[in-house]
Every structure is written in structure tokens, then in C-alpha cells.
Amino acid sequence: MSTLLQPAFTHRGDLISRLAGDGHYDIAIVGGGATGLGVALDAAARGFRVVLVESHDFAKGTSSRSTKLVHGGVRYLAQGNISLVREALRERSTLLDNAPHLAQALAFVVPSYQWWEAPFYGIGLKMYDALAGRASLGATEFLSRDETLGLLPMAQPRGLKAGIKYWDGQFNDARLALALARTAAARGALLLNYCRAADLFYDAGKVAGLVCEDVLTGQPYRIHSPCVVNAAGVWVDELRQKDGAANSGASTRPVQPMVAPSQGVHLVVDREFLGGDAALMVPKTADGRVLFAVPWLGKLILGTTDTPRHDLAREPLPFKQEVDFILSESARYLQQAPVRADVKSVWVGLRPLVKAQGDDGDGTKDLSREHTIVVSRSGLITVTGGKWTTYRAMAEDVLGVCQERSLLIAKKGGATAHLKLIGAGAPGMAVRAICQAPGLHSYGDEQALVMSLPGADRVLTDGLTEAMVRFAARYEYAICVEDVLARRSRLLFLDARLASSLAAQVGEILLQETGLDPQVGVFLELAQQYLRLPA
């Protein structure tokens, strides 16, 4: 099934007018990350009236800060979590089919420096491949030393014995989030960024809708919906606790938080530190973690970490030991070790891991990475956990629960299994473009539309034109410079200094398009944070 839908304009005034209109929906979703957007798309594809509100920008939370892997999770296989791996492998293949411009196969190489590593990891990876079945992206292969260096030209040759190649996927997370939003909008859903869910309201003790606030003006709006889905990522407990306080009845027990955030840091360096088109995977670092070096949009992502955190910062800072860990481990596997001065951008994401009640959330590697859905006494549905790769399956589960609880009428599932996302229609989509420097390839079959806008020939930097900024404002909900440079183009994540240098020009174009303050100063400050490593 193809979308073949005309992209909708995302003019702020029009979106707000719709929000201020009738205000009755079948389902209202809080949070515009992978989880909420997945639910919005599935519900819209089933024909429900859908509204989604996002307090910041789509994917501003965890969903723009992933390692960019569409994967079954080799690590979960090692933990024996077969069903999680199998589901993720199936979803991997669905995602690669439905968004080929944003998610593609990538070869991963595990270099082995001990004689036992290649057979040991090779057997596990063969099993990974077997579990994928028809969804396999290519056979796992044992490599000689020379073959390993052929794929990873800058890997440390000293002591290298052999290697294993296996296949997984990689993607452009924030642009995938936008594609989900825009595909849902093309099917009638109303989605708003910069619109915060402030409170819920009730009818006879049951959720009847939510009050949201246009963050740009402070104006509140009431959304009537018997079905409210809280998909606020690591921030889900805020609404759960408000809901609990409003409906505690005779019970005085406060609602316990369900999320134990765990922080993951990524460092971005020049692609030449690894060379080639394959990613490097270290299954077990000196302290037992997994480390990736992934070529992405012309750079190399190194990461990640898994550090418990007790706050829920919007822009969490990396800890010194996390940066040191990534650099020192990378140094063991690369010929030329990247040093602090080589880092072009550092970014941090919070995993919404779900903890058992009474667990204080330390030791996050052992917490559940599967998603959890809970239904409160008042009927508020909360979903969190899981991973980007499985967002579609999570959405089906959420709608299943909504229907079981009679919050939604029953409509057949599977609506998104073959639903191509906006931009996916171009035949012969460039293979493996996501490794390559940013450019028109991210727009899939919308390239001609981008090229038709004013400023298509005005290059702001490689891979970013004036027309792309206009496209972001007209069709992709962009309001401020950060929306463009962090999540429509990914420059903030790739090279924060370069992104800073473009802020004023991008701001001018946005102002012409939207008439709204593009927040150049706020962006410049943020970009400093993405450049600064803790001393």
C-alpha cells in the first residue's frame, strides 16, 4: 500500500485554529516521540479522529538521540530475550520496507583480537540471523584478518585475528519521527508541536479529555476524548501522578514513578577515524558494555553509555567518565584514537526504562527494555519503554489495550504493516545513503518539491539549502532554528560548530516563512552545550 498523499501545509495558525475548533476526538495522545507518533499514525490509519500534542518539538526528547540502529538487539540475544529480539527483527524489516529513504541495511563488523572471539560471537550472530528468518538482511559471515581490515580500514591492526560481519539497519531517527507525524497528518490527524498537555479532566471519575497549552502564546485549549494515551517518554510519570492525585479516592497512596531513566552519551567524530562503509561493534568492552562506531550522515557516531540518572533534564549533560569511557574504548579498536579536540558534537539521551515498583532504578542494564502499558483507575493509558525499532508493534499493542478497555471502538489492526511513510515512494531509492553526507536523499520522493521552492540553489552548507529551510517551515512543522538544525537537518548532532555558524541565516529564512521568533540566541547557547566536553 502506498501513501501517494499530497503533503499537508503545517502553518501554525491553521493548526491552532483546528485545535480551537470542535475539539472532540476518538483518541488524544500526549508526546510526539517515536511512541506517541506511532500510536497517532496507527490510529489515523484505522480511521480514528486523532489529536497529538507535543510540549517541545517532535522527537526533541529521546527519539532524536538514539544510536540510529534499527536492530533486533544483539545484546538482548545474549541476555536470552528471544521473543524481544524476534519481534524487533520483524519490525526492522517492516521499517526498512516502509521508509527506505530513512532506514537502510548496514553491515556491522565485530573485530576479534582473541582466538575465541570469532567462533564465540559468530555462533551468536548466526543465531541472530536465523531468528530473523525471512526478515534477514544478509548472512552473517566469518572474515579473515584482511577481510576485516578491508571493511574497517582504520581498525587497529595490531593483534587483530579475524572478524565477523552481520547485518542490521540504521536510520535517521528525528526525520523518521517527522515522517510518522506527516503521514498521520495526511490521514487526517491533528498534530501540534509546542503544545503541552497540562492536565486531564474527568467525567464520573473517568478521563474525558485533556487541557493543553500553546507554549508559544500560553493559550489553553480543551480536547475532549474518552481515550487519552500518555506517551511522554521518560516524563510519563508527571501526568500519571496528576491523574493519580485527582482520582486517589479513599486511597492516600501516591502513584509510584514507573520510569528509571538511564543516560546514553554519543560522541561524533570525522568518518575517517573508521573509514569504509561498515559499522564497528564491540560486544563486550573492558567493563562489559557494548560499543558501536557507526558511520552516519558522513560522520562517525561513537557510543553509547548506560548510566542511571535521577533527574529528567531536557538537555542532559554528559558525565566526564562517560566521555572518557567512549574515547578510551574507541582508542583500543581504532588505529588513530580520537581525542577530545576531535569531537564535533556530544549528545545525550535518556532511556525510559521501566522499573519494578520499589526499585530505585540503579543498575539500569538489567531493567526492562520491553515496553510497558498501564491503565489507571480513571482509564489513562500510559505507555513507555521499548525502543525505536519496535514503535509500530508498540502502537498496535496500545490500540489493542484501548479497544479491550472499550475506550476505542474495535477496528482491525495491521493498518501500518505495509503503510509507506511520506517520502517513501521513489523507485530505486539510493541504497545506503544514510551513511553518506546529508543531502536531498533524506527527502525521498519529495526531492522535486524541495527543489521547486525558492532558494533551491542557495547552499547554506553542504547538504542544506535555503529551500530545505523553507520546506521545513512549510511542511515539517519547524518553528525555530533548533527545529531545523537539530532535527530536520541533523547538523547540530553532526557538527555543532558548523550548525552555530548557520543559525543567523536559518533564522532569517524562518522568520520570513513563519513570522515567529526563530530563537537564534537559544540555539547558539544549546550548540555550545553540544560542543562542550566535561573537564
DSSP state of 132: H
507: β partners: none
CB 227 within 8 A of CB 46: no
Write 209-218 long-range contacts (CB < 8 A, 24+): 209/23, 209/28, 210/28, 210/30, 210/53, 212/19, 212/53, 214/16, 214/19, 215/55, 215/56, 216/12, 216/479, 216/516
**CB closer to ligand FAD out of 187 and 266:** 266
Q: Which sign does the torsion angle of CA 471, 473, 476, 482 carry? A: positive
Q: Which residues contact 292 (CB under 8 A, 6 or more apart)?
A: 67, 69, 279, 280, 281, 282, 301, 302, 303, 304
Figure out which of the listed residues 3, 35, 307, 514 binds ligand FAD, where binding follows CB under 6 A: 35
Q: Which of 12, 60, 420, 470 binds ligand FAD (CB under 6 A)?
A: 60
Minimum distance, C-beta of residue 128 to ligand FAD, in the bound complex (Å): 15
Q: Is 280 in the site for ligand FAD (CB under 6 A)?
A: no
Instruction: State the cell numbers at 256.
Output: 509510584
Which of these ranges, 32-40, 78-86, 219-227, 423-431, lies near ligand FAD under the rule CB under 6 A? Answer: 32-40
Selected from 156, 304, 382, 465, the binder of ligand FAD by CB under 6 A is: 304
Residue 199 carries which side chain, given as an amino acid letter?
A: D
Per CB under 6 A, the segment of 17-25, 54-62, 282-290, 473-481 that binds ligand FAD is 54-62
Encode 313-380 in three state secondary structure. Answer: CCCCCCCHHHHHHHHHHHHHHECCCCCHHHCCEEEEEEEEEECCCCCCCCCHHHCECCEEEEECCCCC
Radius of gyration (Cα) for the chain, nearest Å? 23
Rounded distance, CA 475 to CA 63, Å?
A: 20
For residues 34, 37, 42, 43, the Cα torsion angle rounded to the nearest 10 degrees is: 150
User: By CB under 6 A, is residue 55 in contact with ligand FAD?
Assistant: yes
DSSP-derived letter for residue 454 is: T
Nearer to ligand FAD, 58 or 333 (CB): 58
Site string for ligand FAD, 217-256 (x = CB under 6 A): --------------xxx-x---------------------
Q: Are strands 27-30 and 228-230 parallel, antiparallel or unpaired?
A: parallel
Nearest distance from residue 237's CB to ligand FAD, in Å?
10
User: Considering the complex, what minimum distance in angstroms separates the CB of residue 149 from ligand FAD?
Assistant: 26
Measured from the CB of residue 492, what is the shortest distance to ligand FAD in angstroms? 16
CB of 313 to ligand FAD, least distance (A): 12
Q: In this structure, is the dihedral angle defined by the CA atoms of residues 465, 470, 475 and 477, taken in order, positive or negative? A: positive
The stretch near ligand FAD (CB under 6 A) out of 31-39, 318-326, 432-440, 494-502 is 31-39
- Minimum CB separation of residue 190 from ligand FAD in Å reads 14
Taking contact as CB under 6 A, which single stretch among the options 20-28, 53-61, 445-453, 473-481 is the one that binds ligand FAD? 53-61
Among 8, 19, 69, 527, binds ligand FAD (CB under 6 A): 69
- What CA–CA distance (Å, rounded) separates 400 from 84? 18
CB-count exposure of residue 17 (10 Å: 0-12, 13-18, 19+): exposed
Can you tell me which of 26, 42, 54, 513 binds ligand FAD, judged by CB under 6 A?
A: 54
In this chain, which stretch among 199-207, 380-388, 401-409, 478-486 interacts with ligand FAD, using CB under 6 A? 380-388
352 counts as binding ligand FAD under rule CB under 6 A: yes
> And the C-alpha cell for 489?
537537518
* Binding pattern for the stretch 449-488 against ligand FAD, x by CB under 6 A and - elsewhere: ----------------------------------------
Q: What does the block give as the cell for 463?
A: 547538504
Which 3 state secondary structure label does DSSP give 168? Answer: strand
Site string for ligand FAD, 189-208 (x = CB under 6 A): -------xx-----------
Work out how close the CB of 196 gets to ligand FAD at its nearest, in angstroms, rounded to a whole number: 4
Residues 381-420 that bind ligand FAD (CB under 6 A): 384, 386-389
| Of 27-35, 161-169, 246-254, 426-434: span binding ligand FAD (CB under 6 A) | 27-35
According to the binding rule CB under 6 A, does residue 261 interact with ligand FAD? no
Residue 261, H or E segment: strand 259-270
104 near ligand FAD (CB under 6 A)? no
Chain residues in the site for ligand FAD (CB under 6 A): 30-36, 53-56, 60-63, 65-69, 71, 196-197, 231-233, 235, 264, 304, 349-352, 384, 386-389
